[in-house]
């Protein structure tokens, strides 16, 4: 039973978000969206020019949500390593996959400049934000100076997206968890050993 917003436009967008996540762009028909939203066909074509316009609204909203939840982890407390770990280890319904990464596999989405833009912005922001966190860690002396923040950030983001792929292929979240722990262990080796809380003041005499 539908239990979302009363507003028709909202219901359409939310239904589209869910269906795009489950079935992708090609696999999602306007009819299926309407049925899930519980509205007639006329309502959709009143609020949106067509399938792609509705999909654009849905993708934008999903990307914004992802950005917010990622920022929550990455701006949290602790060291740079802690914050990246918080992002990598945050609870996910792994087998559902990433609603934005999913779109990147869809021909119609990638071939449309308009539909691809939210994906590009979202992942561009994500890589940049992780790189910022890593750079900050280097400035604070938490992370090895030799680390390339941009490349490492791309690797971190890629592990998440690739983890979803491996997990779905296996129908088991285990490969996702293994990949995340693998990259975290590699990153942990870049953490500067035993920094004194006050530089120049060894902890024990």
Q: Answer for the pair 54, 12: CB distance below 8 angstroms, yes or no.
A: yes
44-63 residues near DNA, rule: CB under 7 A: 45-47, 50-52
Interaction of residue 64 with its own copies, rule CB under 8 A: no
**Residue 86 partner contact from DNA, its own copies, none using kind-dependent CB cut-offs of 5 to 8 Å:** none
Interaction of residue 100 with its own copies, rule CB under 8 A: yes
Smallest distance, Å, CB 196 to its own copies?
A: 23
Burial call 26-46: b when 16+ CB within 10 Å, e when fewer: eebebeebbebbebeeebbee
Ramachandran sector of residue 98 (left: φ over 0; alpha: ψ -120 to 50; beta: rest) = beta
Q: Applying CB under 7 A, which part among 33-41, 83-91, 121-129, 195-203 lies near DNA?
A: 33-41
Interaction of residue 80 with its own copies, rule CB under 8 A: no
One of 11, 127, 129, 143 touching its own copies (CB under 8 A): 127
Closest residue by Cα to residue 122 from 70, 58, 166, 67: 67
Count Cβ atoms below 10 Å from residue 128 Cβ, excluding itself: 13
**Residue 50 partner contact from its own copies, DNA, none using kind-dependent CB cut-offs of 5 to 8 Å:** DNA
Helix then strand then coil, % of the chain, to nearest 5: 70, 0, 30
Cα–Cα distances in angstroms (integers) from residue 119 to residues 8, 53, 59, 141, 157, in the given order: 26, 15, 8, 33, 13
**Residue 43 or 138: which CB sits closer to DNA?**
43
Q: Which x/- pattern over 13-52 shows residues binding its own copies (rule: CB under 8 A)?
A: ---------xxx-xx-------------------------
Smallest distance, Å, CB 64 to its own copies?
A: 15
One of 73, 74, 110, 191 touching its own copies (CB under 8 A): 110
State the DSSP string of 22-53: HHTTTT--HHHHHHHHT--HHHHHHHSSSHHH
Which residues here bind DNA, judged by CB under 7 A? 8-9, 26, 28-32, 39-43, 45-47, 50-52
């Amino acid at each position: 039973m539908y239990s979302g917003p009363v507003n028709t436009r909202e219901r359409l967008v939310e239904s589209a978000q869910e269906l795009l996540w489950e079935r992708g762009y090609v696999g999602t028909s306007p009819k299926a969206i309407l049925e899930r939203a519980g509205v007639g066909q006329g309502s959709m074509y009143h609020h949106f020019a067509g399938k792609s316009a509705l999909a654009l609204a849905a993708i934008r909203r999903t990307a914004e949500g992802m950005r917010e939840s990622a920022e929550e982890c990455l701006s949290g407390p602790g060291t740079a390593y802690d914050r990246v770990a918080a992002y990598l280890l945050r609870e996910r319904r792994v087998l559902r996959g990433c609603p934005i990464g999913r779109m990147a596999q869809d021909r119609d989405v990638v071939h449309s400049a308009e539909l691809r833009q939210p994906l590009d912005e979202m992942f561009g922001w994500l890589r940049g934000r992780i790189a910022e966190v890593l750079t900050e860690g280097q400035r604070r002396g938490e992370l090895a100076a030799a680390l390339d923040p941009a490349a490492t950030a791309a690797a971190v983001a890629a592990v998440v997206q690739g983890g979803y792929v491996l997990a779905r292929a296996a129908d088991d979240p285990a490969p996702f968890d293994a990949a995340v722990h693998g990259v975290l262990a590699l990153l942990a080796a870049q953490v500067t050993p035993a920094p004194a809380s006050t530089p120049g003041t060894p902890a024990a005499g």
